[in-house]
Amino acid sequence: MPPLIQVADAGDPRLADYVGLTDVRLRRSLEGLRQAGFQILALTPAADAVPIDQLLAADKIALLLGTEGDGLSARWLAAADARIRIPMSGGVGSLNVASAAAIACYLLGRRLP
């Protein structure tokens, strides 16, 4: 069974469909983004990922976000151009996906003219 992506509308996952994403569709989707000039970034709490504030990023970014708990699979992490993390202190290991997305979008958006 291929991995599934869930898209939620208005915060309620019952209002959305599940879309199967095969390896072929994943590669095509990411290549289409790259051809359009996007840099693919995978957000992860991994200690060896580039801190988001030290990233030299392109003007156009596609941000990959994982599920809460498991995060992105190894396949998604490997498919990205770079793995980035939000630096945290005070023993915090991770954020929920909505908070992480908001912080990442804010920090990445600050670089834009």
Top pLDDT among 45 and 13 is at 45
pLDDT of residue 78: 92
Q: Which pLDDT value is given to residue 18?
A: 46
| Segment 14-24, tens digit of pLDDT | 444 444 556 66
- What pLDDT does 9 receive? 47
The backbone torsions φ and ψ at residue 46, rounded to the nearest 5 degrees and listed phi first, read: -55, 135
Q: Take residue 32 and report the two structure tokens written for it.
A: 């289409």
Q: What pLDDT sits at residue 110?
A: 81
At residue 25, φ and ψ (nearest 5 deg) are: -65, -35
pLDDT at 42: 94
Environment class of 26 (CB within 10 Å of its CB; exposed 0-12, middle 13-18, buried 19+): middle
Instruction: Provide CATH code, domain 4-109.
Output: 3.40.1280.10
Backbone angles phi, psi at 97, to 5 degrees: -65, -35
Q: pTM for this structure?
A: 0.74
In 3D space, the residue among 29, 51, 48, 25 whose CA is nearest the CA of residue 40 turns out to be 29
Domain positions in the chain are 4-109
What is the per-residue pLDDT across 31-87, written as a single tens digit (0 to 9) for each? 888 888 889 999 998 889 999 988 877 788 888 888 877 888 898 899 999 999 998
Q: Bridge partners of 40?
A: 62
